[in-house]
Amino acid sequence: MGDEKSLTVEERLERAKLPGKKAPGMHAFYRGKVETTLKCAVTSFDDFGIWYTPGVAAPCKEIHADPAKAFEYTNKANAIAVVSDGSRVLGLGNIGPMAGLPVMEGKALLFKYLGGVGAFPIVLDTQDTEEIIQAVKWIAPGFGGINLEDFANPKCFEILDRLRDELDIPVWHDDQQGTASITLAGVINAVKFVGKDMKKVTYSVIGSGAANIAFVRILIKAGVPAENIILVDSKGILHPGREDLEADKENNPYKWKYAVETNGEGRTGGMAEAIAGTDVLIAASKPGPDTIQKAWLEKMNSDAIAFVMANPIPEIWPWEAKEAGIRVVGTGRSDFPNQINNSIGFPGIFRGTLDVFATTITDEMAIAAAESIAKTAENKGLNEEYIVPTMLETDVFINEAVAVGLKAIEQGIARRPLSEADLRKEAETKILRAQAETKALMDAGVIPPPSQ
């Protein structure tokens, strides 16, 4: 990323295509990215009688008498189900559960390597809301938490809300809460870097899907006045005069709520009208590169910030945004500076949640994570190309875990209260172990080097 400015447009475009070109061959070489492995010792034939029958009957009886012992005797306390119906996968749309499986495996990889969390991809061959909710409830006893992934809007809201109410383990929709957390972290640092006040600047938010609806909710809860936010969907700026939103408010109450509460100036029009004269642009909409025009960005306020987060191609190429005068640019991709991607959030957030056996993940826990992410980067020195940590900075996940665990304890939703020091030790041990295991398997040749 350091030589970005020296590249021609053609070279930049070619480099942006590399991950997609390499991915099929790499996936085929390993035949997927995750598998189950053992965490207990097998030293002799006698061990089988302990780990399985007849010895296993003893912990089974104890769990039957006291279900809470499942957290002590099984991997439940460190197991996450990554559940999807494939109805809205990345920027690919409704490609179904089978085609979405590589994404769910990738999610499980990040959970394990970055957060030390055992995650299992589960794709459901249904896109019916009630069937999805029932399926998750059926599998919940085997897991310490549920990560909902790539569910279409608006059913994703009902699925999350219902499961949070009906289960006693954390249920998290990463496209909502995860993206909101890392976006808030980026906003905290970017606004601070350009010398503005997060609670006084104006925001243009392009896209009214799960990610941005959750971001707006979290942004407001973090202290930003709702009237400072201008939200846009595929038909234009949200405002109380949008009869289509009012007519659909039973099906999608979230958009109508923000049509009424945001946009204090009463703006109308489309993306261009929303973006003009704002300080911060947050886009999670249609993949580009021409979704957002350079001319629109030129009309933003000085020292503007733009997070263009559509995948796999951002709404505008970052170099074009810089040419338009944007001071800080972030995307959802790891091959450009300032990756505003939920992968910086969910591994650490779940690590802290699981370590205290929390019963849910609150918005306050998500905000605590965002503040921790921002502080980790700030302590290392902010600049235009570094406003949030990268996935290779292990300390960010440890710091998040501590912050999230402490917030859960403060809110009274932790079954296992720990001290700050113990939370840090737990997170460090599990995360560093996961990374050491991968390295050891690579060094031993058990995981072979990639073929390309």
Q: Per the structure block, which two tokens stand in for 268?
A: 């109308």
Amino acid code (one letter) for 163: L
What is the tens place of the pLDDT at every residue in 286-312? Answer: 999 999 999 999 999 999 999 999 988
In the prediction, which pLDDT does 379 show? 98
Signed CA dihedral, 226, 404, 187, 292: sign only: negative
Residue 2 has pLDDT above 50, yes or no: no
In the prediction, which pLDDT does 12 show? 79
Q: Per the structure block, which two tokens stand in for 26?
A: 């790499």
Q: How far apart are the C-alpha atoms of 429 and 290, rounded to whole Å?
A: 45
What is the tens place of the pLDDT at every residue in 162-190? Answer: 999 999 999 999 988 999 999 999 999 99
* 291: three-class secondary structure by DSSP: coil
Q: What is the mean pLDDT of the chain?
A: 94
Q: What residues form DSSP beta bridges with 416? A: none
Q: 414 vs 69, 172, 209, 345, 357, CA distance in Å?
A: 15, 16, 31, 20, 6
> Residue 107 catalytic?
yes
Kindly name the residue from 33, 76, 107, 255 that is annotated as catalytic. 107
pTM of the complete model: 0.92
Q: How far does Cα 17 stand from its chain's mean position?
A: 23
Domains and CATH numbers, the chain: 37-174 (3.40.50.10380), 195-326 (3.40.50.720)
In the prediction, which pLDDT does 5 show? 65
> Residue 52 catalytic?
yes
What is the tens place of the pLDDT at every residue in 341-383? Answer: 899 999 999 999 999 999 999 999 999 999 999 999 999 999 9
Kindly name the residue from 21, 52, 199, 235 that is annotated as catalytic. 52
> Which among 387, 331, 379 has a CA at the least distance from the CA of 193?
387
How many other CB atoms are there within 10 angstroms of residue 444's CB atom?
8
| C-alpha angle 293-210-80 in degrees, rounded to nearest 5 | 130
Residue 452 has pLDDT above 70, yes or no: no
3-state helix, strand, coil in the chain (%, to 5): 50, 10, 40
What percent of the chain has pLDDT above 70? 99
DSSP letters of 345-378?
Answer: THHHHHHHHHHTTBS---HHHHHHHHHHHHHHHH
In the prediction, which pLDDT does 4 show? 61
Q: Per the structure block, which two tokens stand in for 61?
A: 């009886």
In the prediction, which pLDDT does 19 show? 83
Q: What is the mean pLDDT of residues 387-408?
A: 97
